Structure 1
Amino acid sequence: MLWTDKYRPQTLDEVVGNNKEKKIIIDWVNSWKNGNPQNPLLLVGPPGIGKTTLALVIAKDFSEHIELNASDKRSQDVIKRTIGESSSSRSLFGDEYKLIIMDEVDGIHGTNDRGGVKAIGDIIKNSKHPMILIANDFYSKRLQSIKPKCTVIKMPKVRSPSIRKALKEIAQKEEIKANPKALDLIAKKSNGDMRSAINTLQSLADKENVLEPADVENIRTKDDRSDIFNAITGVLKSKNPLHVREALRVDEDPTLVMEYIAENIPREYTNKNEIKKAYENIARADLYFGRAQSSRNYGYWKYASDFMGIGVSSSKKETYKKFSKIQTPTI
């Protein structure tokens, strides 16, 4: 059993950090329970900091809850059919409220999201039940029309001391002997990602030996992953295939990364032949993403990743010695 599941917080008091945000949530829940409807909560922040866990903790205050991953059900009809009917009807258990949780709202993307954002907006407008929306990218264009309709809670990364404390408690419960400096190193390398830190501890755990800093130093953790802006910069500014592949090790939907690359190619490249070649590689990447989607064979993703990464990177003769601000997709 994964320790992230085994030690998942069951109450708000057990959720690490975010005390200010928890106060807003408590007031929001109490308002609904007192018959005073509120705007949906929009929890925004990087992966691994506990947004989904927080939503599931909140769900315990309601008679039932429904979950939907918005990035898996992108069309307007599917979203409305899955969530829309539930949001406009009363609970199966009488007049009590049910909580609707919609994860990865900013993951609605590509050619399959026709009307998806509009559908979410319509559901928010017509819902008779509390809703929690979850997203990773606060600045996503897909959230522009949704944020004004919600109470937005921008959740920060978990601080290293808080992560270290949680790791120490888990190690004690699992009877793992660990050098405090090793736990401190895991906490720092996790870069605010509690889930990553716990997974790293579990992967290194050995009841027969003491966990030492040397055991942690070569482990790749969240700290080694770039954010999406660094990923795009890595593709456009480098010609080294290994550097490009490393830059694309990012916790984002790969098709969203492709959109970012496509948006910024002409902002970085100025030679028309280089731009043409880069977009030809983007087109091939898009083709393989389409094959993965239609066949459910996600092995195609590695080909798509190389076309949009190494393919785009190698389209230029030399790297450009200039500063180019990375822009979010205007698609």
Structure 2
Amino acid sequence: MGRRAARWRVHEGAARPGPWRRGRVLAALSALTALLLLVPGLVPNTPGRLGSLLESFLPWLGLAVVPLLTLAVLRRSALALVAVVLPVAAWAYAFGGLLLPAADPGPRDLVVVQHNVSDVNDDPAGTARALAARGADLIALEELVPEALPAYETGLAARYPFHEVRGTVGIWSRHPLTGTRAVDIKPESIEGPWSRGLRAVARTPHGEVAVYVAHLPSFRLGAGGLGTARRDESARLLGRALDAETTGPVIVLGDFNATVDDRGIAPLTSRLNVPKRGFAFSFPASFPLARIDQVMAREATVGRVRTLPATGSDHLPVTARVTLD
């Protein structure tokens, strides 16, 4: 009986996989996570715009490392532990640069602020004071409703003598503005009045700069997936307007209802420089998960983007230093 038990134990030990053979599924999941971090475009956008959904929260995919590492330790799998290095390296490659310090200010810099002030903001005067205190060269605002507009005009007037509003978007500037006009980014399926884009030329000490302010349509997550068709159409229309722009450099500010990784706004990110420093998650203000408030530029470099303290809006303001080429 003793010899049989010994033979059984030997047999059992021989059948148990070693640390380099255990955890193959965990290792495969780590490799898949790394692949998605580097090439999210592998996830198709149909059905339900799954690709855009992944790209909207892509930096957070790195948190998958925590359960992968925990399970690898519990499984005592050397293979899975080594494989966890893959998504860590992929995240560092894709987003590590955003953590680097900003470049030193230059002589051809403009400081800009972008803020969706919310159409239900119960303290527009306080929001205006907070934004004015930042001392930016340009302030772009969205969701300007008629009843709140006077509060912004009054609160910003002392430091920003030049401003233009078209529909529900506006630009406030320390420098003269010329050539202001509405930009038609209205999706075909929207009926009735809808004006969410403007263009102006700021006459800065460094020369003329074309400034665009835009508020792309919001999306909804429902049973059919991510509803971004209107937003994507609006992005295409804005991209065409930028193609026709002859003044340079160009600064584009706005609530795009999309992150810079989202393929839905590729008509903009393919034409414009995006920030290379800073995450600046701006929405929702109570627990920011994504930066959908954007600062982009052409013939200019967008420096570190960062959020400002909360106002009465459900978005956080974002600010960046733009260096003109």
Length-normalised TM-score, structure 2: 0.27
Q: Which has the higher contact order (CA 8 A, sep 6+)?
A: 2
Identify, as 1 or 2, the structure richer in strand.
2
Identify, as 1 or 2, the structure richer in helix.
1
